[in-house]
A = this chain, B = another copy of it.
Amino acid sequence: MLVLDKLKEYLKDNRDDIIGDLRSLIKHPSVSAQGIGIDECAGTLNAIVRDSGIESKLIRIEEGNPIIYGELKGDKRDGKTLLLYSHYDVQPAEPLDKWRYNPFSGIVIDDKIYGRGAADSKGNVIAIVKAIKAMLEMYEELPLNVKILIEGEEEISSINLPRFVEKNKAMLKADACVCFDGSLNPSGTPNIFAGLKGLLYVELRCSTANADTHSSLAPLIDNAAWVLIKVLNGMKRNGKIAIPEWYDDIRVPSSDDIALLEDIEYDLESIKSSYGLKEFIHNVKGRAALKKLLFEPTCNIAGIHSGYTAAGSKTVLPSTAYAKLDFRLVYNQSPDKLFKNLERYMEEYGIEVIKLGALEPSKTDVKADIVKSTREAARKVYGNDPTLFPNSWASGPDYVFTKILGIPSVWTGCSPANANIHAPNEFTGIGNVMSGICYISSIMQEFGSLKQKNE
């Protein structure tokens, strides 16, 4: 039986090993969108996993980034099997000039480790691996069978993961999944999500002529930026997405989900202060803001570019304009179906649509065993109730577990709140990583000691 105090002692003694390995992961950029430092990071991670006691494999993916996979039997014959998922790839570090430190240094300042991926999600990856190592070194065996799956394409919509999971259903068979790729909330307890939004990420390309021209010809020649702006503007009406049939497949949240929403104490106000906001869109507040955050599909402009954007002035009429859009989808919108709607919509304006990523939304019953075990583990490690959300505002490949493997799954993690993920100056706390190791160890303990349903 896991004794947390004993584990904490162990972690003190092994701090250099844990932090050193996290820093070496951060030093390999592993930016999947840009294909930088992927193989080096995967190789380093595989060595770190194998050092924990799992004989993992680096599985090469055709035209994709390697997956690190490993499994280990627990102490019970026919005991439960838990699949642990995370990712070693990171978002691009741009804009580089906004970083206080080199984003790939993993520099430690005041017990914080700075770097792209420190919080999302290399800190979580290290927590998984070092929890297993700790349990094995302390108890010589695990309280349940464990399978770990760490991919390198989460930040580019896990493009190869669905195929991999589909092909390896038997190998990946498990009773439940924990996706360890999340954060604590501002009050310092973990967020646990029993559902994730889906994602459709596209690039729009608008072209009005075969070359840029002098802006004096503006009375006669269409400007690609103006055309794209008009089309983008028309895509939203009163805050809603104005593309036909966009909302048709949405299922309203279950009564359990809505009931849970009422219980959530989540400090949305801290988001306002973090970003210097006077109010949220339409001045929504409290429960209404939370419901909007969790259950509203979005259309976000992640980037737009056209013409001359360097210093000073240039009187050019741009012939091309680009925008990157990410649509968050809610249960049970289909990214493939909506992509086709979007293509049809854009066809009328002669705008090309390129799909850069797609994730289906995912949902797990809030009363599932793995939800209970994760909640209990968080309570024990963090000293008070975690925040259980019926759905997340973010997206991830959770659906490969709930829809393809057909098992319940929770999304949680140990990174600090407001850790600047996907933004400059991302960091995690050393304390956060250490608590994360305790959290994963406790989840294994809790889920492993639950009675089998069919016993």
- Residues of chain A having any CB pair with chain B under 8 Å: 32-34, 91-92, 94, 155-157, 197, 199, 201, 208-223, 225-226, 229-230, 232-233, 236, 268, 271, 274-277, 280-281, 284, 289, 292-293, 296, 298-319, 321-322, 324, 326, 328, 356-357, 392-395, 420-424
Contact = CB atoms under 8 A, between A and B. Distances in A.
A313 B357 contact: yes
Contacts of A222: 281
Complex copy number for this chain: 2
A394 B216 contact: yes
A422 B214 contact: yes
Contact of A280 (B155, B220, B280): B220
Contact of A301 (B213, B306, B324, B328): B306
B220 A156 contact: no
A326 B315 CA distance: 7
Contact of A315 (B94, B293, B302): B302
Contact of A197 (B156, B216, B301): B216
A225 B357 CA distance: 21
Contacts of A315: 91, 155, 199, 201, 300, 302, 326, 395, 422
A305 B302 contact: no
A221 B280 contact: yes
A346 B289 CA distance: 29
A214 B197 CA distance: 14
Nearest to A31: B312
Contacts of A307: 301-304, 324
A156 B276 CA distance: 35
Given A302-B313, A314-B422, 15 more contacts: A33-B310, A33-B311, A33-B312, A33-B313, A92-B308, A156-B313, A211-B423, A215-B298, A215-B422, A219-B298, A220-B292, A303-B306, A303-B307, A312-B356, A316-B423
23 contacts: A91-B314, A94-B310, A209-B276, A209-B277, A211-B420, A213-B423, A216-B393, A218-B298, A218-B328, A219-B393, A220-B281, A220-B284, A221-B281, A225-B304, A226-B236, A229-B233, A300-B315, A301-B306, A303-B309, A304-B304, A304-B306, A313-B324, A316-B422
B275 A221 contact: yes
Contacts of A221: 271, 275, 277, 280-281
Contacts of A302: 215, 307-308, 313-318
B293 A215 contact: no
Which of A225, A299, A318, A420 has the most B CB atoms < 10 Å from its CB? A225
Contact of A356 (B271, B300, B313): B313
A264 to B, nearest CB: 15
A280 B220 CA distance: 5
A253 B144 CA distance: 87
Contacts of A216: 197, 328, 392-395
A157 B313 contact: yes
A367 to B, nearest CB: 25
Nearest to A225: B301
A116 B42 CA distance: 46
Given A225-B304, A313-B302, A315-B199, A289 B209 contact: no
A271 B318 contact: no
Nearest to A91: B314
A309 B322 contact: yes
A94 B306 CA distance: 12
Among A221, A289, A292, A420, find the residue whose CB has the most chain B CB atoms closer than 10 A.
A221
Contacts of A33: 310-314
A121 to B, nearest CB: 13
Given A226-B236, A229-B301, A233-B233, A219 B313 contact: no
